[in-house]
């Protein structure tokens, strides 16, 4: 079954509820009990299209041979039955379409009922004796007054919006939790990196100190080696000086010797000096 509904909302409400789709029930077949119509205190018209499910497809029911069709409102103390309106060419009853007109008087009676159910029913009338068959229900739904319907519709929209926001918030919370875990992991990695850097810095300082110590030790060894070489060089210089002095002394003695005896003494002295020099080496 399908019915037309138009929900009145303010401009602000339309902007706020722009995510909602105000379904036209003319475009959607509603199962038993889900259809809702709105009753005003004035004349109302309702068009129904009655479907039957055949092979999982919604197929309009041919209502041309089901007898009279009624729209019924039943309360504890009153009952209103309205026969379908047939003086409209655009209504194709063979395609399950049926029109009802509720006049102002009946509308006020319906609004006063203590029951909010409506029924679409049929009953056959025998043309020969005007006997009436048992009444059969084609469809059952709910009616609301215009004020109640607006309130109910707005409430349902709010609930749907809350559900939608709840889902979105749950999704965002999941993403936020994942982001928090990622941040926590990054912080932990940063802490580990900081500790590693500090360890490397400490190791570098230790290596620097070791290098300085080695350089100091090498400097000490080099100084000792240089000192030893200096002592050796000084000793060699002293020997060379003595040798030069001996040679000069020999020359002087040679020049002053005039006699053979003096020359003999000269050579003895030279031999002695030479022997002494060789012993010093």
pLDDT value at position 178?
86
Residue 59 and residue 67 in contact, taking contact as beta carbons nearer than 8 Å: no
Q: How far apart are CA 154 and CA 10, in angstroms?
A: 11
Q: Quick one: 147 exposed, middle or buried, by C-beta within 10 A (0-12, 13-18, 19+)? A: exposed
pLDDT value at position 259?
55
Residue 100 and residue 71 in contact, taking contact as beta carbons nearer than 8 Å: yes
DSSP labels, 151-181? HHHHHHHHHHHHHHHHHHHHHHHHHHHHHHH
Q: How far apart are CA 100 and CA 46, in angstroms?
A: 5
pLDDT value at position 158?
63
pTM over 0.85? The answer is no
State both tokens at 241: 């000086």
DSSP 8-class letter at 42: S
- 11-172 CATH pick, 2.60.34.10, 3.90.1150.10, 2.60.40.3350, 2.120.10.60: 2.60.40.3350
Listed by start position, the domains of the chain span 11-172
In order along its 281 residues, the chain shows pLDDT tens digits of 443 334 444 555 444 433 333 333 445 678 888 888 889 899 888 888 888 888 888 888 888 888 889 999 999 989 999 999 877 778 888 888 999 999 999 999 999 999 999 999 998 877 677 677 778 889 999 998 877 755 555 556 666 666 776 777 778 878 888 888 888 888 888 888 788 888 878 877 877 888 788 777 777 777 777 778 768 777 777 777 777 777 777 766 666 655 555 566 666 776 776 666 666 65
Q: How far apart are CA 88 and CA 27, in angstroms?
A: 21
Nearest Cα neighbor of 141 from 35, 23, 4, 26 is 35
Tell me the three state secondary structure of residue 115.
coil
pLDDT value at position 205?
81
Angular region, 96: left φ>0, alpha ψ -120 to 50, beta rest: left
């Amino acid at each position: 079954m399908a019915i037309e509904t138009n929900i009145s909302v303010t401009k602000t409400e339309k902007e706020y509820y722009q995510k909602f789709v105000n379904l036209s029930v003319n475009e959607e077949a509603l199962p038993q009990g889900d259809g809702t119509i709105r009753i005003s205190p004035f004349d109302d018209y309702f068009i129904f299209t009655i479907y039957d499910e055949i092979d999982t497809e919604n197929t309009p029911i041919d209502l041309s041979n089901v007898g009279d069709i009624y729209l019924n409102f039943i309360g504890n103390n009153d009952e209103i039955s309205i026969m379908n309106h047939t003086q409209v060419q655009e209504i194709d009853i063979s395609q399950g379409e049926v029109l009802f007109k509720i006049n102002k008087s009946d509308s006020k009676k319906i609004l006063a009922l203590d029951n909010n159910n409506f029924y679409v029913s049929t009953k056959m009338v025998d043309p020969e004796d005007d006997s009436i068959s048992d009444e059969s229900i084609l469809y059952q739904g709910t009616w609301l007054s215009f004020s109640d319907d607006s309130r109910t519709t707005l409430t349902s929209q709010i609930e749907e919006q809350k559900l939608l926001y709840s889902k979105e918030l749950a999704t965002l919370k999941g993403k936020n939790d994942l982001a928090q875990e990622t941040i926590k992991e990054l912080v932990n990695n940063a802490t580990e990196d900081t500790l590693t850097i500090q360890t490397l810095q400490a190791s570098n300082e230790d290596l620097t100190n070791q290098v300085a110590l080695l350089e100091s030790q090498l400097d000490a060894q080099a100084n000792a080696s240089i000192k030893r070489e200096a002592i050796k060089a000084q000793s060699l210089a002293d020997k060379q000086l003595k040798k030069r002095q001996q040679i000069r002394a020999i020359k002087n003695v040679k020049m002053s010797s005039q006699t053979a005896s003096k020359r003999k003494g000269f050579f003895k002295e030279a031999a002695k000096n030479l022997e002494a020099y060789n012993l010093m080496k």
